[in-house]
Amino acid sequence: MKLLITGASGLLGINLAMEALREHEVIGVHRGKLKSAPFQVLNVDILKRTELHSILDKTQPDWLINCAALANLEECEKDPFQARRLNTELPGELALACEKRDIRFVHISTDAVFDGTKVGMYTEEDEPSPPGIYSQTKLDGERAVRQANPQAIIARVNFYGWSLGERRSLGEFFVTNLNEGKNVNGFTDVVFCPMLVNNTARLLLEMLQKDLSGLYNVVGAQPISKYRFGVEIARTFGLREDLISPRSVESSGLTAKRSHNLWLSIHKLSTDLGHEIPWFSTGLAEFYTQFQQGYPQKIRSYQH
């Protein structure tokens, strides 16, 4: 299959491209960061409608996975206009353009569409209650995609992994800071379901291959607090866990409101795929193996 990935320089985009490359032809769309990636790249401003239509006509992909977003919660609070442009309008435009050309479309959404007040896990049936600009624009993006392209896959994700930067994902944040002997905070009152981004990528590809459509939670199989996540990383990498201070997110000084409970059910995903979702410990072990094998340096060498 020919796969077009927007946001190919991002945490998900680059890892998805690396995974997809094993079996598919990959074309990554970026805005100038990638220089020597092992897949074809196109430097295109996807916010310009004419350019967007032109790359679809030129490349004629079978699948498009939209990994472009304004994914930083604090940035979204500062620039709601850009957040809406990237997280709501662009997904809707891409979904429609794909629908018209018979291209299968995958939109990446977020676990953060929930305010976290539910006791227990959220299913795909639960009514979202976005607590900030990021989550509201992402939810509106889901709605725009569903309206334009009912067959699209909409995946609510949460992942960590190696990126082109050194602190982009929470996993990298802990490894990099603890490695430098720095004190960091770990939130004890934010529970989420982190998945190694390579597993997220493999599951998305499998969902496309199985011709699934509609809304899915694509997150890790176990809920864990952000503090505990840091401790597990420290133990796996042989770093000092005492450098991580257990704290409440309410004392973090962050502008964007964070949800306390982002435990999402993966029952629908595992049922429709017909197998279990990788366990947290399996993903963490692979995160460490990637580190030992120089995977972070490898992908970072693909940028300018």
Binding residue for ligand NAP, selected from 10, 61, 130, 131, defined by CB under 6 A: 10
Binding residue for ligand NAP, selected from 3, 41, 56, 86, defined by CB under 6 A: 86
Q: Is 168 in the site for ligand NAP (CB under 6 A)?
A: yes
Binding residue for ligand NAP, selected from 159, 216, 263, 280, defined by CB under 6 A: 159
**HSE on the CB side for 304, CA within 13 Å?**
6
Tell me whether residue 31 or residue 300 sits nearer to ligand NAP (CB atom). Answer: 31
Q: Is 175 in the site for ligand NAP (CB under 6 A)?
A: no
Q: Is 31 in the site for ligand NAP (CB under 6 A)?
A: yes
CB of 181 to ligand NAP, least distance (A): 26
Cα–Cα distance, 281 to 142 (Å, whole number) = 30
**HSE on the CB side for 144, CA within 13 Å?**
23
Q: Is 71 in the site for ligand NAP (CB under 6 A)?
A: yes
Binding residue for ligand NAP, selected from 9, 136, 259, 290, defined by CB under 6 A: 9
Tell me whether residue 133 or residue 183 sits nearer to ligand NAP (CB atom). Answer: 133
Candidates 103-111, 121-129, 220-228, 270-278 — which segment interacts with ligand NAP by CB under 6 A?
Answer: 103-111
Q: How far is CA 174 from CA 39, 177, 223, in A?
A: 30, 5, 18
Candidates 51-59, 62-70, 116-124, 278-286 — which segment interacts with ligand NAP by CB under 6 A?
Answer: 62-70
Which residues are paired to 296 by β-bridges?
A: none
Name the closest residue to ligand NAP (Cβ).
Answer: 10
Axis crossing angle, helix 226-237 with helix 280-292, rounded to the nearest 10: 40
Tell me whether residue 42 or residue 231 sits nearer to ligand NAP (CB atom). Answer: 42
Q: How many residues bind ligand NAP (CB under 6 A)?
A: 25
Q: Which of residues 268-297 bind ligand NAP (CB under 6 A)?
A: none
Q: Is 195 in the site for ligand NAP (CB under 6 A)?
A: no
User: What does the binding site for ligand NAP look like in residue numbers (CB under 6 A)?
Assistant: 7, 9-13, 31, 33, 46-47, 67-71, 86, 108, 110-111, 138, 157-159, 163, 168
